[in-house]
Amino acid sequence: MNYKEILERVMNNVRAEKSLGKLATYIPELGNIDPYKLGVHLSTVNNLDVGSGDNQEKLSIQSIAKVFSLCLAYKMVGESIWKRVDVEPSGNPFNSLVQLEADNGIPRNPFINAGAIVICDILISHLERPKDAFLSFVKEISDNPELTFCQKIADSEKSIGYRNVALCNFIKSLGNIKNEPEEVLDFYFCLCSLEMSCKELAQAFLFLANGGKKVSDEKEILTKSQTKRINALMQTCGFYDESGEFAFEVGLPGKSGVGGGIVAVFPGNYSIAVWSPKLNAKGNSYKGMMFLEMFTTETEASIF
Q: Does 304 fall in a domain? A: no
pLDDT band at 90 (very low <50, low <70, confident <90, very high): confident
Active site (annotated) includes residue 256: no
Q: Does 294 fall in a domain? A: yes
For residues 102 and 218, membership in a common domain is answered with no
| CA nearest to 271, candidates 222, 214, 233 | 214
Residue from 10, 85, 250, 258 carrying the catalytic annotation: 258
- The three-class DSSP label of residue 59 is strand
For residues 230 and 218, membership in a common domain is answered with yes
DSSP 167-180: HHHHHHHTT---S-
Number of compact structural domains in the chain? 2
For residues 58 and 70, membership in a common domain is answered with no
Active site (annotated) includes residue 258: yes
At 56, which CATH number? 3.40.710.10
For residues 135 and 89, membership in a common domain is answered with yes
For residues 25 and 70, membership in a common domain is answered with no
One-letter amino acid of 71: C
Active site (annotated) includes residue 63: yes
| Model pLDDT for residues 137-175, shown as the tens digit of each residue | 999 999 999 999 999 999 999 999 999 999 999 999 999
Domain region containing 139: 65-192
Residue from 52, 63, 193, 256 carrying the catalytic annotation: 63
For residues 81 and 172, membership in a common domain is answered with yes
Q: Does 122 fall in a domain? A: yes
For residues 268 and 295, membership in a common domain is answered with yes
| d(C-alpha 238, C-alpha 263), whole Å | 10
Active site (annotated) includes residue 250: no
| Model pLDDT for residues 94-132, shown as the tens digit of each residue | 667 878 988 999 999 999 999 999 999 999 999 999 999
For residues 275 and 294, membership in a common domain is answered with yes
Q: Does 49 fall in a domain? A: yes
| Model pLDDT for residues 247-291, shown as the tens digit of each residue | 999 999 999 999 999 999 999 999 999 999 999 999 999 999 999
Mention every residue, 6+ apart, whose C-beta is less than 8 A from residue 38. 11, 14, 15, 53, 54, 275, 276, 287
Residue from 43, 66, 215, 276 carrying the catalytic annotation: 66
Residue from 52, 138, 184, 188 carrying the catalytic annotation: 188
Q: Are 169 and 181 in contact (CB under 8 A)?
A: yes
- Per DSSP, what are the bridge partners of residue 266? 270
For residues 158 and 123, membership in a common domain is answered with yes
- Does this model's pTM top 0.85? My answer is yes
Q: Does 171 fall in a domain? A: yes
| CA nearest to 231, candidates 263, 184, 183 | 263
Active site (annotated) includes residue 36: no
Domain edge (last residue) among 140, 165, 192: 192
For residues 18 and 88, membership in a common domain is answered with no
| d(C-alpha 304, C-alpha 286), whole Å | 23
Domain edge (last residue) among 162, 192, 222: 192
Domain edge (last residue) among 165, 192, 219: 192
For residues 83 and 34, membership in a common domain is answered with no
Phi first, then psi, for residue 56 (nearest 5°) are -110, 10
For residues 56 and 13, membership in a common domain is answered with yes
Residue from 240, 271, 276, 287 carrying the catalytic annotation: 240
